[in-house]
Amino acid sequence: MKKLAIVALLAAGFVSGAHGAGSADAGKGKAAACGGCHGADGNSLVPNFPKLAGQHAAYLSKQLKDFKSGARKDPTMAPMAAPLSDQDIEDLAAYFSSQTLNPGKGDPELVKLGEKLYRGGNRDTGVAACIACHGPAGAGNPAANYPKIGGQQNLYVVKALNDFKSGARSNDANKMMRSIAAKMSAEEIKAVAEYVAGLH
């Protein structure tokens, strides 16, 4: 019984250490520079800048570290991430993940096709269903570090998928997103983005 209790305490410590490294309060003070593009609370009002509110902290942390290291390339984000310390990154991730996402609305003419692709993929071309990794409401999978995409800005989703498709973005695990996006048509990318915008 004592061994079980010790294992449980160690496991709890590991989990809190892995996901509790950042301070949302400290992150709020550091987030002022992010507000111009992503909104003060992480709800970007500009369609081509991603919403950060409610995103998984571990995912946000990975993206900032990738921008800093150059593993993910972006001319705007690279200089923003460059001066951040590991603690700054964890604090910002904790702050934005603690905020509430405001979902948007997709174009009704494209949402139907987007839903079909999101839920069932395209068997003819081998496009996997988005729901398999990102879940029915687009909440993602924090344990696997799959991002929350429900409610995300439509133009940002289009950009992200096109970047994966072209190889301009290559920080996905096992080339998973690159291989999926490579099989998607421009219409499919736009339709999925419109569906995801209103998903929550």
pTM of the model as a whole: 0.87
* The two structure tokens encoding residue 193: 């983005």
Per residue in 41-71, pLDDT tens? 999 999 999 999 999 999 999 999 999 999 9
Coil, helix or strand at residue 106: coil
Provide the residue-wise pLDDT of the chain in tens; the chain has 200 residues.
444 333 333 343 333 334 458 999 999 999 999 999 999 999 999 999 999 999 999 999 999 999 999 999 999 999 999 999 999 999 999 999 999 999 999 999 999 999 999 999 999 999 999 999 999 999 999 999 999 999 999 999 999 999 999 999 999 999 999 999 999 999 999 999 999 999 98
In a domain, 103, yes or no: no
**Spatial distance between the Cα atoms of 52 and 102, rounded to a whole number of angstroms:** 10
| Same domain, residue pair 178 and 125 | yes
Per residue in 24-44, pLDDT tens? 999 999 999 999 999 999 999
Which residue, 39, 70, 97, sits at the end of a domain? Answer: 97
| Same domain, residue pair 113 and 193 | yes
At 20 the pLDDT is 53
Cβ-in-10-Å burial (0-12, 13-18, 19+) of 60 comes to buried
Q: Provide the residue range defining the domain that includes 146.
A: 108-197
CATH number at residue 35: 1.10.760.10
In a domain, 139, yes or no: yes
